[in-house]
Amino acid sequence: MTYGYGQPPEYPGGYPPPRKPPIDTTDRVVSIIAIVLTVLGAGVAVFLAVFMMAFTDYCPPETCHIDQGVTLAFAGFGVGAVIAIAGIATTVIRLIRRLRAWPIAVATLVLTGVACVLGMAGYIASVGG
């Protein structure tokens, strides 16, 4: 039983590697739409928060805690950014591996939105708006 020199076997073990499963188009489309909405929504929320902070004209001294408001806003957006980055990375990895990714993408969209809304609500509650 000789294999000959200079001629390696075509496949290790004699069998071709298994084929990757087909890409689910619906999963890919929903995941991409959710990722795009996450990025756009977070960008709009940050834009609105910056304008809210910039144009806080009246802040009654009895009920206004501007430092606390800014801290809560940045905390909310910071948590939202961490959620968005982790969720988008996880979604992309799952799409590359051809695993179901849309639940991760949609959860990222929802959790990022909740974090941004809570940050803005904390700011509004702290400045007495």
- Total domains, the chain: 1
Place of tokens 């990375």: 89
**CA distance readout (Å), 10 to 3, 13, 98, 100:** 11, 9, 27, 33
Q: Which of 2-11, 21-30, 111-120 has the lowest mean pLDDT?
A: 2-11
How far apart, in whole angstroms, are the C-alpha atoms of residue 128 and residue 68?
11
Nearest Cα to Cα of residue 41 among 100, 4, 7, 88: 88
Residue 1, in any domain of the structure: no
pLDDT tens readout for residues 19-67: 777 778 999 999 999 999 999 999 999 898 888 888 877 777 787 888 8
Task: Output the pLDDT for position 91.
Answer: 97
Would the pLDDT of 11 be above 80?
Answer: no
Task: Output the pLDDT for position 41.
Answer: 94
Place of tokens 């834009």: 47
Helix, strand, coil percent values for the chain (each to nearest 5): 70, 0, 30
Residue 110, in any domain of the structure: yes
Would the pLDDT of 12 be above 70?
Answer: no
* Structural domain for 72, as ranges: 31-127
> What is the chain's length?
129
Residue 24, in any domain of the structure: no
Residue 50, in any domain of the structure: yes
Residue 123, in any domain of the structure: yes
Residue 111, in any domain of the structure: yes
Residue 51, in any domain of the structure: yes
Cα atoms in the Cβ-side hemisphere of radius 13 Å centred on 105? 22
In this prediction the pTM is: 0.80
pLDDT tens readout for residues 53-105: 888 777 777 878 888 888 999 999 999 999 999 999 999 999 999 999 999 99
